[in-house]
Amino acid sequence: MAKRDYSLLGPDGALAVETGLAAAEWYHTDVPRKVMKDLMARRDGPALRDTVILYGCMIAFALGGIALWGSLWCIPFWLAYGVLYGSASDSRWHECGHGTAFKTPWMNNAVYEISSFMIMRNSATWRWSHARHHTDTYIVGRDPEIAIMRPPAFAKLVLNFFGIVDVMNFVPRILHNAFLGPTAEEKTFVPQSEWPKVQRVALIHVAIYAATIALAVLMGSVLPLMVIGLPRLFGAWHHVMTGLLQHGGLADNVVDHRLNSRTVYLNPVSRFIYWNMNYHVEHHMFPMVPYHALPRLHDIIKHDLPAPDRSIARAFSQMWPALRRQLANEEYFLRRDLPATAKPYREDFHKAALGEAIPAE
């Protein structure tokens, strides 16, 4: 590929369909049926515990920030509230969107809707967007959730650590959804039967934000926006940091998640915020395995996967130089070497890509 066109309406998407990359059969590590059935078992307990902790902490931090408003002592409370609002909501949106966090469907749906609002995503469009992301992971012109395009736009990546790009994209899109329905690109992956729901959800989001802004004006204070809206900016850094590592700098247009996804070991606090999505190769291979079972899944299939990065810092130390090299050479990517116990990559789809890869130094 000389120049990538990431538009869902562009020629690369059509080419992916023609060549069989779209909706292809992906590689999966062999796991005994009985073991997989146990891993996929859904339970309410772990997610109920984590949800009570999350929302309980958010309420406590918000009350502390409000009580200490006007003094410097409120800052730590708002920073903590922000990372739970603007980052933990991303992983909750994600897992509840898969329907695997809870066993009880209405619990998944309730947390999914709340989290979608906090992370500023239309719950009706993003449910289908993420389904396409899993079907065509990092297939150019097909995947609507490619976070790092080639060549990388470093200014946007940095700005998004403060949520700026996401919010700038969200505002016109939610207004378009509210008054006109799905955009042209959204119509490529959202079934027509869901278009009224897209508009209905958008109208609710717009109404809540309008009421919050009106209250802030009436009070003559930014405080209502510190509770609703602004934390999506100052609390976004954690979900952006971990999100970039999911696929950044790795191969695109391949059908083996070991090539295009990254597993990273995290500390317990980050794992709680991220809800174990650091086991990202495992999640993409088996998306119906609940978040609380991903560490077990990792232990079972790690013999067939690239070695995980031992920390966020280690992963960034490899990814960032690779992104810089992609500025000059869009074809460069980090090759994920497999252990001797692993099955090889599919040569029929990946021979050209593997030949062009330059191993990480």
pLDDT tens for 68-106 read 999 999 999 999 999 999 999 999 999 999 999 999 999
Q: What is the pLDDT of residue 346?
A: 74
pLDDT in tens, 101-152: 999 999 999 999 999 999 999 999 999 999 999 999 999 999 999 999 999 9
Q: What is the pLDDT of residue 244?
A: 96
Indicate whether 357 pLDDT > 70.
Answer: no
Indicate whether 349 pLDDT > 50.
Answer: yes
- For the residues of 311-348, what is the DSSP string, one character each? SHHHHHHHHHHHHHHHHH-TT--EE-PPPTTSPPP-HH
Determine what percent of the chain is predicted with pLDDT higher than 90: 94
Q: Which amino acid is at 352?
A: A
DSSP bridge pairs for 185: none
pLDDT in tens, 185-237: 999 999 999 999 999 999 999 999 999 999 999 999 999 999 999 999 999 99
Where exactly are the structural domains of the chain? 11-359
Give the residue, 357 or 38, on which the prediction is more confident.
Answer: 38
- Residue 354: band (very low, low, confident or very high) from pLDDT cuts 50, 70, 90: low
Among 36-50, 77-91, 329-343, whose mean pLDDT is lowest? Answer: 329-343
- Residue 353: band (very low, low, confident or very high) from pLDDT cuts 50, 70, 90: low
Q: Hunting for tokens 């990202």 — which residue is that?
A: 280
Q: Rounded CA gap, 295 and 290, in Å?
A: 10
Tokens for 302? 């790690």
Residue 169 near residue 183, CB atoms below 8 Å: no
Determine what percent of the chain is predicted with pLDDT higher than 70: 95
Judged by DSSP in three states, 174 sits in helix
Of 12, 23, 21, 22, the C-alpha closest to 350 is 21
Query: Whole-number mean pLDDT of the chain?
Result: 94
Report the predicted TM-score, pTM, of the whole model to 2 decimal places: 0.92
Q: Rounded CA gap, 356 and 361, in Å?
A: 15
Q: What is the pLDDT of residue 30?
A: 96
Judged by DSSP in three states, 31 sits in coil
Among 175-184, 208-217, 294-303, 351-360, whose mean pLDDT is lowest? Answer: 351-360
Q: How many residues does the chain have?
A: 361
